[in-house]
Amino acid sequence: MEEKYETATRVPGLNVRTRLLSVVIAMHNEEENVQPLLEQVRTALQGINYELILVDDGSTDGTVKAVREQLDGCTKLVILRKNYGQSSAMAAGIEAALGTQIATMDGDLQNDPRDIPAMLQALNEGQWDLVAGVRANRKDGMLLRKIPSRIANRFIRNSTGVRLHDYGCTLKVFEAGLAKTLGLYGQLHRYIPVLAALQGARMTEMPVRHHPRVHGKSKYGLGRTFKVMSDLVLMVFMQKYFQRPMHFFGPVGFLLLAAGIGINLYLFVVKLMGQDIGARPLLILGVILFLSGLQFVLFGILSEVMMRTYYESQDRKPYQVRQILTAKNTRA
């Protein structure tokens, strides 16, 4: 059963003048959407200290020209050399952002920038690191978009334990410190909440408006389902075993080793009893299991060495400190 949400509304008098908000929008072949998009953003964010960062992800139409004609003092255009994909384009925009808070949204007019002030207020008042949008009354096709998305959302939620309703909604507001450490690449933008959870982020969600696409062509289809599933395997592994890969490879390896050794010992006893084992498929299975188990164990050891190198060579820490309190800074 579809969950119902009230749409978010703009909060009058939101006091955000002292902080800079960076709005990052990745665009690919959205020429017709440029002008109405910029008009909507400028209207929605009146009274807010913001910069708008548009990232052209290798467009082959007139998107870049349309943006250049609309540039003003608050707008920045980042042009990528080729089409790298939405995750890389978002990462480029976040890297270029100067704000202390960052909002991301799509460039196809389906997200509504009027929701950003309310999300920004929730971020500030709730002491959250991330506020994610949930598309209320989603205006997409049922068979090709809504049903696959609903299934994927539930599967991701159950697999990762990150309890959000809409992982595919690009409209999000972050603290810049979190956004710049997400490590976006490949197609991981749909797993931003999971990446944030790996950083220990405090997050919430709120309903946002969603509009049907008017101009341009959707970049999504059923073909991305397999990419979503592949990335999910990576996310689950990173979430559970990134800092301790031997805990994943070790048990599997030792189980296969034990099975292989058991089969081979059995065949050794059979051989001692005078029976021929050279043509028995069980011998091949035993050898394969033994070698596979050995490889898993060795791969686990190599992975542990790589993780140690990853942290020590870059002077990275396997933890992040949110806050340090002393008697002095806890006094009223």
pLDDT (tens digit per residue) in 241-253: 877 888 889 999 9
Query: Taking 70 as the threshold, does the pLDDT of residue 2 lie above it?
Result: no
> Predicted confidence band at 136 (pLDDT cuts at 50, 70, 90)?
confident
Residues 167, 160, 95: CA angle, nearest 5 degrees:
55
Q: For position 29, what pLDDT does the model report?
A: 92
> Residue 223: its pLDDT value, please?
58
Q: Over 50: is that where the pLDDT of 7 sits?
A: no
Contact 189, 174 (CB under 8 A): no
**Highest-confidence segment of 117-121, 125-129, 145-149, 187-191:** 117-121
Read off the pLDDT of each residue in 247-262 and give the average, rounded to a whole number: 93
Question: What's the residue count for the chain?
Answer: 332
In the chain, what percentage of residues exceed pLDDT 70?
A: 83
Confidence of residue 151 (pLDDT cuts 50, 70, 90): confident
Report which secondary-structure segment, H or E, holds 268: helix 246-272
Whether 25 contacts 105, CB under 8 Å: yes
The whole-number pLDDT of residue 173 equals 97
pTM to 2 decimals? 0.74
Indicate the class that CATH gives domain 21-241. Answer: alpha beta
Residue ranges of domains in the chain: 21-241, 246-313
Instruction: Give the pLDDT score at 155.
Output: 79
Name the average pLDDT for the chain: 83
How large is the average pLDDT for residues 262-273? 91
Phi first, then psi: what are they for 251, rounded to 5°?
Answer: -60, -40
Sheet with 130-135: strands ordered across: 75-79, 50-56, 21-27, 101-106, 172-175, 130-135, 203-208
Token pair listed for 111: 């997200």
Instruction: Say yes or no to pLDDT of 330 above 90.
Output: no
- Read out DSSP for 230-264? HHHHHHHHHHHHSS-THHHHHHHHHHHHHHHHHHH
How confident is residue 92, by pLDDT bands cut at 50, 70 and 90? very high
